[in-house]
Chain A
Amino acid sequence: MQALANQLCENRQFGSKMTDSKYFTTTKKGEIFELKAELNSDKKEKKKEAVKKVIASMTVGKDVSALFPDVVNCMQTDNLELKKLVYLYLMNYAKSQPDMAIMAVNTFVKDCEDPNPLIRALAVRTMGCIRVDKITEYLCEPLRKCLKDEDPYVRKTAAVCVAKLHDINAQLVEDQGFLDTLKDLISDSNPMVVANAVAALSEIAESHPNSNLMDLNPQTMNKLLTALNECTEWGQIFILDCLANYTPRDDRESQSICERVTPRLSHANSAVVLSAVKVLMKFMEMLPKDLDYYGTLLKKLAPPLVTLLSAEPELQYVALRNINLIVQRRPEILKHEMKVFYVKYNDPIYVKLEKLDIMIRLASQANIAQVLAELKEYATEVDVDFVRKAVRAIGRCAIKVEQSAERCVSTLLDLIQTKVNYVVQEAIVVIKDIFRKYPNKYESVIATLCENLDSLDEPEARAAMIWIVGEYAERIDNADELLESFLEGFHDESTQVQLQLLTAIVKLFLKKPTETQELVQQVLSLATQDSDNPDLRDRGYIYWRLLSTDPVAAKEVVLAEKPLISEETDLIEPTLLEELICHIGTLASVYHKPPSAFVEGNHGVQHKGLPGSAGSAESESPDAVSAGAATEAPAAVIPSQGDLLGDLLNLDLTPPATTGPLPHSGGMQMGAMDLLGGGLDSLLGGDLGGSPAMGAGFGAPPAAMPPAFSAPVSGSLYDLFDLDNGVGMPLGSFCPPKTVWLPAMKAKGLEISGTFVRHAGVIQMEMTITNKAMSVMTGFAIQFNRNSFGLAPAGPIQVPSPLSPNQNIEVSLPLNTVGPVMKMEPLNNLQVAFKNNIDVFYFSCQYPISVLFAEDGKMERQVFLATWKDIPNENESQFQIKDCHLNSDAASNKLQSINIFTIAERTVDGQDMLYQSMKLTNGIWALAELKVQAGNPNYTVSLKCRAPEVSQCVFQSYEAVLKN
């Protein structure tokens, strides 16, 4: 403080004696004492100066609360400035001195009756800011009067005060009927009052998601639209955001709202513009596409969006994040505006990266030549992050616009010629993707790539290069030498590279068995014997076993045709996109996360969906989409730039979802050696029959198998899994494959994928935690939000830290069900907060409800019959499971593995009826009747439960386990 004061003294210029800096200069010892004396001075002027000094100290964060009584004494004055200053002080310190604050109440109540509306408003406003419970009681009467004041300035101030009071004591506001008064204010004659009432109601509604405060109907809509034209810019934002929640009855109403909102696109305030865009984007959904007005509206949307991009960089950034959503939903709006997204060299980096993203989204055959020229230009800039993204963008263009692929490849080759290290590495990574997209087209460039082998030092680039060598081993004469060179430092490589090297060498061996036998043995033993990475060992054993038992199958598996990668990368999942479109202009739209992900301050938000288009046959109702999206794994879409490679690398052979602890018995080692011997012999000797060399007693295949292991693979492939029978693998219990819960892009390089299993009565959350950032991660912790069944971690998460870059780790977290309970939507939704040394990340995932099925879920027959009758019929729901080819016994066995118990069975007219029961951990029983008809692949499940909301989830479990 002293330093500040000195500095201020030095900075004095002419006339500065008259400025407020003098209030800082008395910061010596005994300052408080001095101020106290001045505050109690008889002279008005001295008092005012003293209060100013107090305020000045407050602004720089100094504690002057000790002066509370003295300042409050100055409150009764007819000097408005002094009054305002005292109010300022009160608001800041009342909380810490609640008893003293009561002293001020009388003055407030008196001021609320003052003839000057400015003072009435000021008093009610300040009272609302004093966050002290005791004061709120005294506030009610003055507030009620002010809400009905004759002066609109007072009414509009009072409206906001209701929101303040609600924040302090929600119950009081409801009891006193202030909410109804506030709703009445929406019909006020003054637009400013309407706007503030809407703002206050919106804020209250945010903390009360189900209160249905904003009862929007055509009448209120009309009032809001009228007020929209006349209120201030800020009021327009509140009203537009409120309008966006309305669902019009038909396309005509929709059009009339759009017509009345369109003029807002010409507002100078960019927040008004973006809120108007939100309303239009939402209501446009309801307009028939052949309507003339629809086309007009599309044309009107482009210019304001373009104009936002010439604003200050901060505004540009928010605009760009939103435009990213808009072009995904309606690319036609900006398809001719590519040039405004060209990057200026002095744009801030956060603007550059966003522009680049949108350029790729807008790239099409028509503009690809210009886009490529631009991207090539960017690739020679200084900023490394930007250059890398530009190079990646070239690859994405090649994948998106087929006609341009050749040009993109040649551009990438030009860039590789520059020999700039990070450019070369990035180029190789994207060329690998291009190979995946257009097989057998551009392999002529492999030679050029191989020249740069030595300069690759990043794992991602090394792995990509190894993949290329393995995939095209037959065309590269010295493929074995190249791969061997990598093998030397095998243990120093990252997991990504090790896994890729293993696969590549196996590929090579299958393609050129005669020359590479030694190499493959070397890599298999490196992977299985010298490594302690379970992923690597598992993959090694699988190959080993595969090669030894059935080389034909091995060929079919390892060299199987890979699915093509999808065109559009980085797309936001459609349901999420729809929800985000409804939240244009908000934080959710900046982070591209649903508002429910903002755990803080959002106590459960209703999900918003776009209204369906009228009269069109599009089946885009949000429900249908979400149901579809929930069940299908997004395998074809490359999730995000960060995971791009990981995903591709794992595609050729995904390790099984649960990696049980590896067998450590010597027998296993022996067996494996033996296996290889036999298998190699058979492969080399042309005996392709496959030899069931390994022991007996292999049971049923585990339920969770990667899709690559499909029918052609003989049963012996499964042997490997049974070796550790009873050691760690939950035999037969159903375990859905891991899905990515938290993509690295959204979590500063931390990626979490996982699944849930129930084994021996314990629910486990199985996670793979991957560090895709450049630095180590430590200090992991996990926490759940309240959820429907009270799932909670049974102990802290055990992650050996530090987790170094590109390392991944399997973690299994036991859960219990004694945590706090709150109903979620959907029921099995779980919101998770995951912390590391970098930040806290939030994601939500859904657990199969079957993990909650208790082991003691078998009901007595009699009880079952009685209960079935007892549960009313409206609680019964029926579901169809299609394309299931199991007989009733197999189905029953499978279901038993997830603790769905068959109690009775009878056969009627060739139909098997299975009666089954299951019990959830919270004591809810569900009863089921499963109809299986021989020769008919469609099963019918009828579920009865006293809590019918679980039926949908239970059915999903049925479907998941029976179809697996």
Chain B
Amino acid sequence: MIHSLFLINASGDIFLEKHWKSVVSRSVCDYFFEAQERATEPENVPPVIPTPHHYLISVLRHRIFFVAVIQSEVPPLFVIEFLHRVVDTFQDYFGVCTEAAIKDNVVVVYELLEEMLDNGFPLATESNILKELIKPPTILRTMVNTITGSTNVGEQLPTGQLSVVPWRRTGVKYTNNEAYFDVVEEIDAIIDKSGSTITAEIQGVIDACVKLTGMPDLTLSFMNPRLLDDVSFHPCVRFKRWEAERILSFIPPDGNFRLLSYHVSSQNLVAIPVYVKHNISFREGSSQGRFDLTLGPKQTMGKAVESVLVSSQLPRGVLNANLSASQGTYTFDPVTKLLSWDVGKINPQKLPSLKGTMSLQAGASKPDENPTINIQFKIQQMAISGLKVNRLDMYGEKYKPFKGIKYMTKAGKFQVRT
């Protein structure tokens, strides 16, 4: 199982270590540093690194490497999932997961890690349970603790730990009972030079914020559940009901949680909400290149495309770019060769464009590589797959909750080749 955990910051310092079995010397991280040196970018450090006596499994989140040390055969996904859970918990407790936040709360971090694993076996990883065991630090509570000498460790066994609904504590009370659901979809797509779609798929999630008194039992149904190609549920969802009726039936956890994530595969036709007209060219023998880019909306069902951000890694030979944007601002970093253009909202009447020239090193040959254009955007009030929630019902409690559903579409890895 998981032996130890090392947290390593961007400059390569180990700033926290935790051992669940015997102490593993931090020199084991030298193998990690070697791998880090070989990889050009931090993102390229391989997630599993063998050393003579251990294996190092790492994830990179918020510019911190979480490096787990294991000695025997342990499923790597188990370790990676656990590390993600650690990151999520930190974020949940401290608002952000940064080196400073972790150092500021080092004792809580230590208590948390101790509670999450026992001898390398996961113990309590549900945020609800952890919060009952170890209260999240707030300025107010720390002050109160300092003054009264009380503690931020729960004295009682968490109620959820062993019940049939381990994700929900008993005795929840709210004056305003409310349940909000966000349907968020991300489009991953590769568009080729000519504008046709090579591959496109949709990753969707339904995130919920449920603040309901007692033990509510909810059902949520869709207008078009067959759209969903593959679904993964929060443990609270009754799988049999979904299999039989395509209805989500569940007793929700208290607070924020991810109810469902789903996937709409490339087999289905995926609507592409934006198009790009581009002309990025270099002429042989000339030290100048042309850059011409226009964005436009398509298949958005009348909704506005917002928060548009275009970025592209220009060829290494490009010295500088002299462009003008019809709207928004652009920057070009001559060191990393990264061009990014903050467009904002696309106005269908007046399409945003970015035009101008790129200068090459004098005498250099025409660059071989074709830059890829990366686009980010958001569309409110629309799920691009067409998924629609039909109704939400509550059983088991008498009050009438306030219900709300929001839709949003975002670009995931949305790439246009030139």
Q: Mark B106-121, 1 if CB is under 8 A from A, else 0.
A: 1111110010001101
Q: Mark A190-216, 1 if CB is under 8 A from B, else 0.
A: 101000100110010010000000000
**Which B residues touch A336, using CB under 8 A?**
267
Contact A315:B118 (CB < 8 A) given known A350-B44, A587-B73? no
Closest residue of chain A to B100 (Cβ to Cβ) is A11
What is the CA–CA distance of A131 and B316 in the complex, to the nearest angstrom? Answer: 56
Query: Which stretch, A172-180, A229-237, A536-544, A820-828, touches the partner chain B?
Result: A229-237
Closest residue of chain B to A241 (Cβ to Cβ) is B75
**Which A residues touch B74, using CB under 8 A?**
586-587
Contact B413 A346 (CB under 8 A): yes
Q: Mark A260-287, 1 if CB is under 8 A from B, else 0.
A: 0001001111110111000000000000
**Which A residues touch B14, using CB under 8 A?**
61
Contact B370 A380 (CB under 8 A): yes
**Which B residues touch A587, using CB under 8 A?**
48, 55, 73-76
Q: Mark A598-627, 1 if CB is under 8 A from B, else 0.
A: 101110000000000000000000000000
Q: Mark B187-199, 1 if CB is under 8 A from A, else 0.
A: 0101010000011
Interface centre among B26, B59, B122, B258 (most CB of A within 10 A): B122
What is the CA–CA distance of A916 and B60 in the complex, to the nearest angstrom? Answer: 65
Measured CB to CB, the closest approach of chain A to B413, in angstroms, equals 5
Contact A92 B19 (CB under 8 A): yes
Contact A95 B22 (CB under 8 A): yes
Q: Mark A305-323, 1 if CB is under 8 A from B, else 0.
A: 0110010111101110000
Closest residue of chain B to A12 (Cβ to Cβ) is B104
- A33 contacts B by Cβ under 8 Å: no
Contact B155 A80 (CB under 8 A): yes
What is the CA–CA distance of A317 and B43 in the complex, to the nearest angstrom? Answer: 12
Query: Which stretch, B210-218, B229-237, B272-280, B328-336, touches the partner chain A?
Result: B229-237
- A509 contacts B by Cβ under 8 Å: no
What is the CA–CA distance of A336 and B121 in the complex, to the nearest angstrom? Answer: 38
What is the CA–CA distance of A266 and B157 in the complex, to the nearest angstrom? Answer: 30
- A801 contacts B by Cβ under 8 Å: no
What is the CA–CA distance of A232 and B229 in the complex, to the nearest angstrom? Answer: 25
Contact A586 B75 (CB under 8 A): yes
Pick the contact of A153: B77, B157, B242, B372 (CB < 8 A). Answer: B157
Q: What band does the interface of chain B fall in when counting residues whose beta carbon is under 8 Å from A?
A: 35 or more
What is the CA–CA distance of A161 and B370 in the complex, to the nearest angstrom? Answer: 58
**Which B residues touch A585, using CB under 8 A?**
75-78
What is the CA–CA distance of A192 and B121 in the complex, to the nearest angstrom? Answer: 12
Contact B188 A382 (CB under 8 A): no
- B23 contacts A by Cβ under 8 Å: yes
Contact A588 B80 (CB under 8 A): no
Contact A8 B73 (CB under 8 A): no
What is the CA–CA distance of A167 and B120 in the complex, to the nearest angstrom? Answer: 13
- A931 contacts B by Cβ under 8 Å: no
What is the CA–CA distance of A585 and B78 in the complex, to the nearest angstrom? Answer: 9
**Which A residues touch B81, using CB under 8 A?**
233, 269-271, 315
What is the CA–CA distance of A382 and B336 in the complex, to the nearest angstrom? Answer: 13
Contact B153 A84 (CB under 8 A): yes
What is the CA–CA distance of A199 and B122 in the complex, to the nearest angstrom? Answer: 10
Contact A840:B52 (CB < 8 A) given known A271-B78, A601-B73? yes
**Which B residues touch A344, using CB under 8 A?**
188, 190, 413, 415
**Which A residues touch B412, using CB under 8 A?**
310
Q: Mark A659-670, 1 if CB is under 8 A from B, else 0.
A: 000000000000
Contact B104 A318 (CB under 8 A): no
Measured CB to CB, the closest approach of chain B to A412, in angstroms, equals 16
Pick the contact of B71: A60, A117, A382, A601 (CB < 8 A). Answer: A601
**Which A residues touch B242, using CB under 8 A?**
266
- A340 contacts B by Cβ under 8 Å: yes
**Which A residues touch B71, using CB under 8 A?**
600-601
Measured CB to CB, the closest approach of chain B to A35, in angstroms, equals 15
B window 284-304: CB within 8 A of A: none
Contact A307:B153 (CB < 8 A) given known A59-B17, A190-B162? no
Contact B111 A84 (CB under 8 A): yes
- A377 contacts B by Cβ under 8 Å: yes
**Which B residues touch A270, using CB under 8 A?**
77, 80-81
Contact A232:B122 (CB < 8 A) given known A21-B103, A263-B239, A382-B316? yes
- B30 contacts A by Cβ under 8 Å: no
Contact A23 B106 (CB under 8 A): yes
- B89 contacts A by Cβ under 8 Å: no
**Which B residues touch A56, using CB under 8 A?**
106-107
Contact B46 A317 (CB under 8 A): yes
Contact B73 A374 (CB under 8 A): no
A window 1-32: CB within 8 A of B: 8, 11, 15-16, 18-21, 23-24
Contact A315:B48 (CB < 8 A) given known A80-B153, A92-B19? no
Contact A339 B199 (CB under 8 A): yes
Q: Mark A237-276, 1 if CB is under 8 A from B, else 0.
A: 1000100000000000000000000010011111101110
Residue numbers of A with Cβ under 8 A of B are 8, 11, 15-16, 18-21, 23-24, 44-45, 48, 52, 55-56, 59-61, 79-82, 84-85, 88, 92, 95, 116-118, 125, 128-129, 131, 151-153, 157, 160-161, 163-164, 167, 190, 192, 196, 199-200, 203, 206, 230, 232-234, 237, 241, 263, 266-271, 273-275, 303-304, 306-307, 310, 312-315, 317-319, 336-337, 339-340, 342, 344-346, 348-350, 370, 374, 377, 380-382, 418, 420, 585-588, 590-591, 595, 598, 600-602, 839-840
Could you show 10 A-B contacts with beta carbons less than 8 Å apart? A20-B108, A60-B17, A268-B233, A271-B78, A313-B47, A314-B59, A318-B77, A345-B313, A377-B417, A380-B369
- If A20-B107, A60-B15 are given as contacts, then 14 extra A-B residue pairs at C-beta distance below 8 Å, sorted by A number, are A24-B103, A59-B106, A59-B109, A116-B155, A153-B161, A160-B119, A237-B75, A270-B77, A270-B81, A310-B203, A310-B412, A340-B266, A344-B188, A840-B52
